[in-house]
Homo-oligomer: A and B are copies of this chain.
Amino acid sequence: MKLVHTVKQVRDFLDSKKNIGLVPTMGALHAGHERLMEMARREAAVRAVSIFVNPLQFGPNEDYSRYPRTLPQDLETCERNGVDLVFAPPVEEMYPLPQLISVEVGRLSEHLCGKFRPGHFRAVATVVIKLLNIVQPQRAYFGEKDIQQLTIIRRMVTDLSLNVTIVGVPIVREIDGLALSSRNKYLTAEERKFAPTLYRALQEAASRIRTGEKDASKVREAALSLFVNSPLIRVEYLEIVDPDELQPVATISGPVRIAGAIWVGATRLIDNVTA
């Protein structure tokens, strides 16, 4: 496995190699990331992982500076999962000039996380297109936990005619249902106990839909009722949206995605399910 830090090193290493799989990450790798690497190992002849905590996608009051950085352990995780190339660029390598050009994601960022993190998905789409252009993989792997990110990237591939297949990989959960996240490390023992409420609420919503409820506001209400005895939790949003453009639906008449974000103390967690 090779560790490199510059775009040129990536291009030299991958030069004329075929069937490349890319797993873009912000590091602090956990079993969810390992699932992405497993998929890449199965499908791609050359496996690349990028590790880059992208400053542009963090808001001014978000956790950029305290986001966990665990490069030595991350490299072990990559090695163990058959990764060939790790690209861990410094910020100046990714943004040598002021970033004047960016990828605008339009109404795909109007709801869910995009509503609460202005500019976040523009920055995510921009850094992802950069990573795709640097590595030029045939396939790129993203977790379904960040469903808005995944949806935007899939649409970016279509709308900008990128020659890459995006592979969405199901959420990996703890035994009690909590979706794996690098941010779970922030939780105190007490907070950790309450964290799975989000998944239970999403499941409750999905179950109401499966048993015939069409009224999205009633489904939301049922889901939100699960938080009444969780004083440590503040719900940021819990929405039922169409899977293509992530617009809220009032009446459920086809497949939907139910997505939520909660604050548990100072930690923001997200999750989603289909129904």
Contacts and interface: CB of A to CB of B under 8 A. Distances in A.
A104 B101 CA distance: 6
A225 interface: no
Nearest to A156: B101
Interface in A134-159: 134, 136, 152, 155-156, 158-159
Interface stretch (A66-74, A75-83, A160-168, A170-178): A160-168
A245 interface: yes
Interface majority SS on A: helix, strand, loop or mixed? helix
A169 interface: no
A234 interface: no
Interface string A1-19: 0000001000100000000
A106 to B, nearest CB: 4
What's the number of copies of this chain in the assembled complex?
Answer: 2
**Residues of A in contact with B, size category:** 20 to 34
A93 to B, nearest CB: 10
B97 A101 contact: no
Given A11-B163, A133-B161, A136-B163, A125 B103 contact: no
B104 A152 contact: no
10 contacts: A96-B158, A97-B158, A100-B155, A100-B159, A102-B104, A102-B159, A104-B104, A104-B122, A133-B162, A133-B163
Nearest 8 A/B pairs, CB to CB = A101-B159, A104-B104, A130-B161, A100-B106, A133-B161, A101-B156, A134-B161, A133-B162
